[in-house]
């Protein structure tokens, strides 16, 4: 323009396309959404898992287990979380397989479980159903050598016992006797010891059956 100094000429304003702003906003919202989804899906908790097969009656401490970081979608209260292990450890109340997450319902406080192990000597073979983790009733009956076997009919000494392990008593192979370790309430130990003292014959019957069933 004639007569207007070059430094005083008006510069054209930069016009920002609204579509560009809208695009940037969409990108930001998309990124924020992805971050939120990833953060939500990464809500994992540390729980204990079995480092080896665990059997009922076995005392377990944190050092005997492994830790797993898993997403349980709010079900973490159903499993034993890392940091919640009692000082004295726990006692298994049912079997847990190798690598399986430790359900809270499968353990009890070792100091308060009220259960203890007892080895039952059984003459002859035991049922295949008498296996680790099985629930059995401990029955007593007069010894085969008793003069009057009708005086004391068979009776349950401890019901709802849990089989810990079945062992062959190598020292009594000739008599074909089997030693079975079971988990029983402490309150039944006196009755079991009395039955042993009276030379009663002990038998393990899968829960729900009876020596009188004849099956």
CA distance 124 to 108: 33
Per-residue pLDDT band for 21 (boundaries 50, 70, 90) equals confident
Report whether pLDDT(51) > 80.
yes
User: pLDDT at position 173, please?
Assistant: 47
Q: For 190, phi and psi rounded to 5 degrees?
A: -60, -45
Dihedral sign for Cα 173, 176, 182, 187, please. negative
The mean pLDDT value of the chain amounts to 78
**Which one is predicted more confidently, 90 or 93?**
90
Half-sphere exposure of 29 (CA within 13 A, CB side): 6
Residue the block writes with tokens 């295949």: 128
pLDDT above 90: percentage of residues in the chain: 14
**Which one is predicted more confidently, 136 or 34?**
136
Please tell me whether the overall predicted TM-score, pTM, comes out greater than 0.85 for this model.
Answer: no
Per-residue pLDDT band for 77 (boundaries 50, 70, 90) equals confident
Q: Residue by residue, what is the 3-state secondary structure of the chain? A: CCCCCHHHCCCCCCCCCHHHHHHHHHHHHHHHHHHHHHHHHCCCEEEEEECCCECCCCEECHHHEEEEEECCCCCHHHECECCCCCCCCEEECCCECCCCECEHHHEEECCCCCEEEEEEEEECCCCCCCCCCCEEEEEEECCCCCCCCCCCCCEEEEEEEEEEEEEECHHHHHHCEEEEEEEEEHHHHHHHHHHHHCCCEEEEEECCCCCCCCC
What are 120's two structure tokens?
Answer: 């039952």
User: pLDDT at position 172, please?
Assistant: 45
User: pLDDT at position 122, please?
Assistant: 87
Report whether pLDDT(47) > 80.
yes
Report whether pLDDT(134) > 70.
yes
**Which one is predicted more confidently, 9 or 201?**
201
Structure confidence by residue, pLDDT tens digits, 162-177: 888 888 655 544 456 7
Report whether pLDDT(7) > 80.
no
Report whether pLDDT(18) > 80.
no
Structural Rg of the chain based on CA atoms:
34
* Third-level CATH fold of 17-113: Type Iii Antifreeze Protein Isoform Hplc 12 (3.90.1210)
CA distance 204 to 190: 18
CA distance 142 to 155: 10
pLDDT above 70: percentage of residues in the chain: 75
Domain-by-domain residue ranges, the chain? 17-113, 115-206
User: pLDDT at position 30, please?
Assistant: 81
**For 29-44, what is the mean pLDDT?**
70
């Amino acid at each position: 323009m004639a007569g207007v100094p070059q430094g005083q000429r008006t510069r054209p304003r930069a016009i920002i396309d609204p579509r560009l702003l809208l695009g940037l906003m969409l990108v930001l919202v998309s990124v924020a959404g992805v971050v939120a989804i990833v953060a939500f899906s990464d809500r994992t908790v540390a729980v204990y898992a079995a480092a080896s097969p665990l059997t009922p009656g076995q005392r377990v401490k944190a050092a005997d287990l492994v830790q797993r970081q898993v997403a349980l979608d709010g079900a973490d209260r159903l499993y034993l979380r890392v940091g919640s292990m009692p000082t004295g450890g726990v006692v298994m109340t049912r079997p847990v397989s190798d690598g399986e997450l430790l359900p809270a319902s499968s353990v009890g406080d070792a100091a308060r479980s009220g259960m203890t192990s007892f080895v039952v000597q059984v003459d002859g073979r035991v049922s295949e159903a008498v296996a680790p983790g099985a629930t059995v009733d401990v029955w007593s009956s007069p010894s085969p050598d008793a003069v009057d076997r009708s005086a004391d009919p068979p009776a349950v000494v401890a019901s709802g016992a849990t089989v810990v392990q079945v062992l062959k008593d190598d020292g009594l192979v000739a008599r074909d006797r089997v030693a079975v370790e079971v988990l029983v309430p402490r309150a039944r130990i006196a009755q079991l010891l009395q039955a042993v003292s009276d030379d009663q014959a002990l038998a393990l019957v899968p829960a729900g059956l009876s020596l009188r069933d004849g099956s």
